[in-house]
Structure formats: structure tokens, C-alpha cells
Structure 1
Amino acid sequence: MSAVLDVVNPFDQTKVGSVELSEWDDVDAMLGVAHTLYRNRDGWLPAYKRIEILKETARQMSGRAEELALLIASEGGKPLIDARVEVTRAIDGVELCIHEIGQMSGREIPMDLTEAGSGRIAFTQREPIGVVVAASAFNHPLNLIVHQVAPAVAAGCPVIVKPALDTPLSCEAFVDMLHHAGLPKDWCSFAACQNDVAEKMIIDPRVGFFSFIGSARVGWMLRSKLAPGTRCALEHGGAAPVIVDETADLDAVIPLLTKGSFYHSGQVCVSVQRVYAPSGMVAEVAQKLADAAAALKVGDARDPNVDCGPLIRPTEVDRVEQWVDEAVQAGATVLAGGKRLGPTTYAPTVLLNPAAEARVSIAEIFGPVVCIYGYDTIADAFDAANGLDFAFQSAVFTKNLDTAMQAIQRLDATAVMVNDHTAFRVDWMPFAGRRQSGYNTGGIGYTIHDMTQDKIAVIQL
């Protein structure tokens, strides 16, 4: 008999549901069936059928939008107002996959550029890459699944999805909707499983593409163990930097920094963590942000008036508390928060000038903590922003076009937001980490491209 995993609300630890855990024999069978489906080219799902399935899935999601939002808030602790936005984005993501199916086209390759190629015509087409295994994270329990699973369906790949064990219910609901929309069950399998089973699945040679969202330590380890030929995409995190210059309109800046810093209690891979402001105005920037942080309501994410919910596990509150305490002992000034509010919540926290070597300065805290630093020259700010081994999205606030263009050129990041926070994203833009922050590029269209491969046909006339 399969073990059953109880899923709890991270705020009060009450049970909100349960799922059956898959053992290796279950997953091995899933892989076998999925690999057989892929190898049987006559049985591949045609584009029109994939479009029909995804259209019906989006329709079902729209009809269950409030139910899905409450599920996100209940199992993941994301405030209801933000959970509703996540559902809307997830629906848009499915519809974007439908659009991208029509973009999966090849091109003519000119052959008569040399005498050796003359007398031939050639063209390419895109084919599914193989069985996709997707391992996901807890912080966007529906939208991340959509970003990993719906592109696989669009590309025509059989897919097995392993959700974060903290938040499997949204994933299970999405897979069920795909099945009810007409996707044969073997084309998308739900595999909630422990890490040892998941690793064995991921490194299996039957896997054509591995999609991972989670910690860098785990992601890079798994990549090193992939079977020869398995392609992958890794999405990790960072400690996103923001530069504020002396021309910035602080009345516009502070609300954006507040949202970017404390959205989902900082449990976002591109959450604002490091803010650099001119030495002459750093105290003002820090205090204004602290005032905004202090006004945020912390509590049960199911309460529509709550701005910041719990951290995903009580042990994460312990860790954040330890990191902040270390920073304060090393000289950081607490301007807001700096304390736990209960077993599962931590106050939105603003730290002024933590030490450069403090963990809050050099590692992703993944909690409701933002650090403010002073700088003397803009070049110093760029150097500090670029000083870590990982990089994802970054931002600059300025009214000076030269400064904006300089930031775009100088910041070592895959995205530079001008006059916006680092957590901004739309689902059709490229989304990727540099260096230790990730491998390959996310975004619906980019993911579908990675889950397909070119085939060329050359015809001698």
C-alpha cells in the first residue's frame, strides 16, 4: 500500500489535504509507459488535439479560479490577493502554450551556397525531445507547474511531474484538469515522491529532458548525475540587487521596493534583497522602506487582508531568525522587524548596512528581509551588485537616461528593470539565472523550444 502524505497549512499547521506517495516501482512503471509512448511515433498527439486539450484546461481553470486561489493560499501560505494573481497568470500561461504551438515551425535551409550542396532542397521541423521529468518548487504551486508541464504537453512530450511535497495539491489539481480535458492519463503522470525516488527517476536514461525549479545545491547536483543525452533546464535563485540613484522619485520607489521585497514573504527567486542607495540619502531610503514594511499585515494567507503570510515551514523561520541575528551582532541596524512573530511567521525586516560578509549579504535568504547599503559612486554600486557568484534579475531606479543605460550595460544579470522591482515578470519573456543561478532559459516559448529538437530533411532533386 502506498504511503499517504498529509499536506498542512503553513500558518497553523492544520491538515488541508493529502496525496499518495509514489514508490520507485510506481515511478518506474510511469517512465516505462511514457518512454513507450514517445517511441511510438504513430501515436504522437497531433497539434490540433494538443490545442483542444489546452483550451479545455484553461476553461476549467477559469471556472475554478477562486477554488484554486484558496488552495494556493492554504497549502503554500501565499496571501489570497497574490494567489488570485497566480491563478490568472497560470491560465494565461496555458493559453500562451496554445499560441506557441503555432510557432513550432522549421525553416528552409539554402543548399546551393556551394557547389557541393546544389541540386538539393532542405527544410527543418521541430520534434518533441522525449520524456520530460519536471521537479518543481513550493512558492508558486500552480504557476510553476504550468510553466513546466503545459509546455511539455504543447511540445508533444509525455511528462512526469514531481511537485514540492509541501505543496502538491495544486499540481494534482492541474494534472487532473488536463486529464479531464482529454489528455490521456499516461501522457501526464503525477508523482509525489520522496527525494531518493525522485533522484532515481531524474537520472534514468529514459528521460529526455529534466526541468528543475529549486535550490542551486540540489539542481547542480542532479545535473551532474543526468544520463548521457538528457537535456535540462535549472532555475535557482539569487539575492537580487537594486540600485537607487539621487534622481529617483522615492514616493514612487518605496511602494515598488516594498512589493518586490515582501511579496510572498520574500519566498521568490528574484525577490529584492540588496538595495544600494547614495550615502547621502541611504538613511532616508531605508527609513521610508522600514515604515512601509512595518505597515504590512502578517498572518494567515487565507485572510484577504493579509499582506505577508507564513514561511513554508517553521524551520525556515528558525533559519531566517538566525541569519538576521547574526547580521545584527555583526553591526547591522534593524529599522523594521528583526523578530519572529510566532512559530510560522517572521516580521517584514529592513536591515541597514549589514556587513559585506554576513549571510544576508551573500546568500539568498528566501524570507521577508531586505538589506540597504550606502554607496559613494555609482561604479561602487555596480561592483557590489555584481559581486556574488549568482545573478538573476536586477533593477535600477533613476530619472537619468545615462544612468539607466549604464546600468543596463554594467549590471551582470539576465534582466535589468528600470524603475521597477526585480520580481517583475511576464510569462512570455525570457527568465533565467546566470552562473550558479541557473541553466537554460525559462518563459513559455523558450521552454517549449527546449523541449523540442530540430530535424532536417535534405532532398536531392
Structure 2
Amino acid sequence: MTKEQYPLFLANKEVYLNSDLEVKDKYTGDVVTRVALADAGTIADGIAAAHDAAEPMARMASYERQEVLQHCVARFRQREEELAQVLCIEAGKPIKDSRGEVSRLIDTFKIAAEEAVRITGEVQPLDISPRARGYQGIWKRVPIGPCSFISPFNFPLNLAAHKIAPAIAVGCPFVLKPASRTPLGALIIGEILAETDLPEGAFSILPASRDGAELLTTDERLKLLSFTGSPEVGWDLKAKAGKKKVVLELGGNAAVIVDQDADIEDAVSRVLFGAFYQSGQSCIGVQRILVHENIYEQFRQRLVEGTKALVTGDPRKEGTFVGPMIDEEEARRLEAWIAEATVKGARLLCGGNRDGAMLEPTLLEGVRRDTKLNLEEAFGPVAFLVPFGSFEEALAIVNDSKFGLQAGIFTRDIFKALDAWDRLEVGGIVINDVPSYRVDNMPYGGVKDSGLGREGVRFAMEDMSEIRNLVIRRRFDQ
């Protein structure tokens, strides 16, 4: 399904610069294709092209931007199975989940096409006192200018789309660095964008090493940096970004609360999804499972049974639910975290075994607060259970984290739901579902070490634009 070689995209054009980047099948470990790798000079050329394209991009009519996005939607649909198969290979994502991500890619571009023609402003009365009599204000949003984007490996199609589609909708040229381990999805998006009438320089998609991408952070011609990835890298980039606006979508160790009035069967089903979907490699994957003590034993038994029944292995097989982690190094890291937790007294309920990049879906209980599994982002198929006695206690446990991305709560009590909304230090709360749930038009992002700003097409467009005010003085003596 993959080609022998893929180009990078520089100023809207395919460039077969070299074949230096190997892309591996994450299940077999075999090299399946090679990709052109950008050096610092190529990145500088892409930034210069985006700078030159800022004015023609800003001049595009709303319907013209919409037509570009609609073309992408149509072509994604035509290449839907190809996109899914490539994603399955390069990310190791089970094929059903890969098809699901392609559908979200399409949704994200559809939303952007709709938003491209409804960027509005406001008429604002200014005569709030005698000195402002006769003055009227009008403001509108204008594109912020050239943007740099860095996207991660875990959702290489849709998380790239959440940067690309809003930029086109609002009229910002951009340079995107996709994850080196999963660059193919972004490059296929580039193939489709190259079919459109975007101004020259409107986009560059440049796989690059982390060191080679330094200019995407430091170059002052870029007006916004949007990064999705690890907190360590994200905060370091922010410190180097200078005057540009920075949007960070970082990590989390998401918690779900299962209160005593929850539908246990439904909650177990959703927690299994939230903890082990995508082999747990999601920043809103369920990591901490808080269960009321009155239903704890029953919930634990059902969750362990469900976890043991999950089908693991070859992501190409239709029935596979858990595929490999992104590489063996990451699987070894998480295996070590499990070992640390058990040495410190945690009880392994199921899983824990590793074969290469395949790590069994794993559940624990009794995980101490000072372990990496509790303090850090696991980013793999591991979760642990914690009993609680009161809802107040559960809220406190959720907040006892340096992260704050999303939380889920299973409850039938509307007042508890509202209390959680008021008190949880997170960017989003999902009632009667897991924190792993996301719809692509909603505001999405975190607080604390989980980041800055919000994704979701309309909200990303706000970050990629600025308010320009107009004041009109009306003279009454004429």
C-alpha cells in the first residue's frame, strides 16, 4: 500500500531531496518505505516561502479557502482505504481504529470548510461616556501570518489536520514538521493540497530531525508555533519561541471516576476502550481509574475479565484491538514503570508481559503516589485502579496531578457533574464516558503541564488570527 519513496513538500511542490528517513512497519519492524528528510536549509526555504505567501493567503476570498478544504474532503474520501492502510503500517494502529482516524480527518476538514465562510466580527458601541459620543467601533479577525506546526506520531493524520485545516480556513501559510516515525499521512495530505490553487508557498510539509527543526521555533518571521507532543519538549520550545504566540497540546495521566450509581457494565466497556484503545498511546487515554468502594470489587472483576479478553497482535487483522507500541524502546520504558510500581507494593491484576514492541494490556491496583505510573504519562496500555469513599475524595485525587487535560465521570447525579465541572483542574470533563472521548469541533486542550491554548477548528482559528479594530468618529456639526 505504501510507495517505494515519498517526497517532502516545499512551497507546495514535491521535492525528492533524498531518501534518508526510513519508515518502519511498527508490527514487523521492517523498513517499508523511505522519505525525504529536510535539512536546516530546506526548512529556512519553507519559512521564507510561507513569509512571502502571507499576503496572497490573506487576500483569498472565504469561498476560495472553503473550496480548497472541500477538495481535500472529497479526495480523502476517494483515498480513504489507502490512508487507513498506510496509517496501520506506519503507526501500528489496528485497522479498525485507522479507519476511524481517517473518518476524523474528513470531519476536521469538513468543519474547517464550514468555518472558513463564517469568520465574523462585531459592531461595538463606544459611547459609554460623554467623551465618546459619536464614536463607533467595529472589529474583525485577520490571519496572524505564517505558522509553524509540529505534530506527533500517535494520530499522524488527525492531529496534523487540526493544525493544517484551521490554518487554511483562516488564511495562514504554514510549515509542518510531522513526526519522523509516522510522516506518511501528512505527506499524503500534502499530495492532495498540491492539487489545489493555494498560493505558492502556502504550505510546506517537511519531515526533519528535532535538531534540524530549530528554526520552526526560533525564526521571528513565524507568528505562531503549534506543538503537540511531550511536556518536556513543549515547554522547552516555548522558552525558545521568542515573540511568537505558542499553542501547546501536551500530555496527561487522565483519570476517570466511576461513582456508586454508575451503570457498571457500561462503565467497564467504556473504560476498556479508554485505557487500551490505540495501545494506550493517547494523551487522554485512561490511566487512573477511580471506583467507589461500594462497587469496587465487582467493577474490578469485570474490568480484569474484559482486559484479558482483548485481542492483541497484528494490527492488520480486523479483530485486533491492541497493536504494538510505537517502538520497542517505548515498550521497555513502560515495562520498567510497571516493575517499579510492583516493587513498591502494587498488585499486578493482569498483563505486564512484553514481546518486542507488544506490551500486554495491563491493570494494577495499590499503585503508590510516588511511582512513575501515578506521576507521569504512561502513554501505553497500562492503567491502575483506586478505590474511593466520597466524591469529594475522588475529585481531590483527580486534581492531585501536575497534568490537567480531560477527566471522565460516570454518575447519574447532575449536581456531582456540576461540582466536577466547577472544581476539576482540567480542560474538559466528560460525563458518563471516558476522558478519551473527543469530537473534532469542540474546544480541546489542557491546563497545568498539559499545555496552553485550545484545539478544535474554530478555537484554533481564533489562535491563528488577530483582532483588528476600526473606530469611526461621526461629527454631529456637519
Q: TM-score, normalised by structure 1?
A: 0.96
Match of 2:10 in 1: none
CA distance in 2, matches of 1:185, 1:167: 26
Q: Which amino acid aligns with 1:439?
A: L
The question of whether the paired residues in 1 share the 8 Å contact of 2:53 and 2:200 is answered with no
Q: What SS does structure 2 have at the residue aligned with 1:97?
A: helix
SS of structure 2 residue aligned to 1:425: coil
Matched with 1:16 is 32
> How far apart, in 1, do the equivalents of 2:257 and 2:174 lie?
41
Q: Specify the alignment match of 2:136 in structure 1.
A: 121
From 373, 376, 379, give the equivalent of 2:389. 376
Q: Give the match for residue 99 of structure 2.
A: 84
1:420 to 420, 427, 433: 433
1:112 matched to which residue of 2?
127
1:273-326 per-residue CA deviation (whole Å, 9 max, x = no partner) reads: 001112343232222111111111111212211101100011001001000011
Query: 2:308 aligned with 1:294, yes or no?
Result: yes
Distance 2:229 2:332 in 1: 20
Q: Does 1:4 align with 2:17?
A: no
Equivalent residue, structure 1, for 2:47: 31
What is the CA distance between 1:41 and its match in structure 2?
Answer: 5.6
Matches within 5 A, 1:198-347: 198-228=213-243, 230-340=244-354, 342-347=355-360
Partner of 1:52: 67
2:52–2:201 Cα contact (<8 Å) kept: no
2:155 is matched with which residue: 140, 153, 165? 140
Letter in 1 for 2:247: A
- 1: CA distance between counterparts of 2:56 and 2:94? 44
8 Å CA contact 1:12–1:344 kept in 2: the answer is no
Secondary structure at 2:359 match in 1: coil
Question: CA offset at residue 255 of structure 1?
Answer: 0.4
Q: Count residues in correspondence.
A: 458
Uncovered stretches (5+) of structure 2, i.e. residues with no partner? 1-16
In the alignment, the residues of structure 2 paired with residue 226 and residue 8 of structure 1 have an alpha-carbon distance, to the nearest angstrom, of 32
Q: Bigger CA drift: 132-141 or 327-336?
A: 327-336
State the secondary structure of the residue aligned to 2:108. Answer: helix
For 1:42 and 1:234, the matched residues in 2 are separated by: 24
Query: Could you say which residue in structure 2 is the equivalent of 1:161?
Result: 176
Identity %: 33
- SS, match of residue 458 in structure 1: strand
Conserved in 2, the CA contact under 8 Å of 1:17 and 1:169?
Answer: no
Measured against aligned partners, the alpha-carbon deviations of 1:106-154 in whole angstroms (never above 9, x if no partner) come to 1112122223322333311111101010000011110011101111111
Asked if structure 1 preserves the Cα contact closer than 8 Å seen for 2:217 and 2:241, the reply is yes
Structure 1 residues 404-413 or 440-449, which shifts more?
Answer: 404-413
1:14 is displaced (CA, Å) by 1.4
1:30 CA displacement: 1.2
Change over 3 Å in CA distance of 1:115–1:4 after alignment to 2: same
What is the deviation of 1:231?
Answer: 0.6
The residue aligned with 2:463 is: 450
Q: Which residue of 2 aligns with 1:68?
A: 83
Quick check: 1:314–1:344 contact (8 Å CA) kept in 2? yes
The alpha-carbon deviation at position 20 of structure 1 amounts to 0.6
| Kept in 2: contact 1:77–1:309 (CA 8 A) | yes
Query: Residues 37 and 44 of structure 1 are in contact (CA less than 8 Å); yes or no, is this contact kept in structure 2?
Result: no
Amino acid at match of 2:254: A
More deviation in 286-295 or 130-139?
A: 286-295
Q: Output the CA distance in 1 between the equivalents of 2:312 and 2:238.
A: 37
Q: CA deviation at 1:17?
A: 2.0
Conserved 8 A contact 1:354-1:361: yes
Classify the secondary structure of the residue corresponding to 1:367: coil
Deviation at residue 90 of structure 1 after TM alignment: 0.8
AA of the residue aligned to 1:373: V
* TM-score, structure 2 normalization: 0.93
Q: 1:69 to 1:405 in 2, by over 3 A?
A: same
Which one of 435, 438, 444 corresponds to residue 448 of structure 2?
435
Q: 1:6 to 1:41 in 2, by over 3 A?
A: closer
Conserved? CA contact 2:63–2:117, under 8 Å: no
CA distance in 2 between partners of 1:268 and 1:333 (Å): 24
Q: Tell whether the 8 Å contact from 2:147 to 2:174 is kept in structure 1 after alignment.
A: yes
| 1:392-426 Cα deviation digits (max 9, x unpaired) | 11011122333333333332222111110110110
Could you say if the C-alpha distance between residues 241 and 374 of structure 1 is closer, same or farther in structure 2, counting changes exceeding 3 Å?
same
Partner of 1:413, secondary structure, is coil
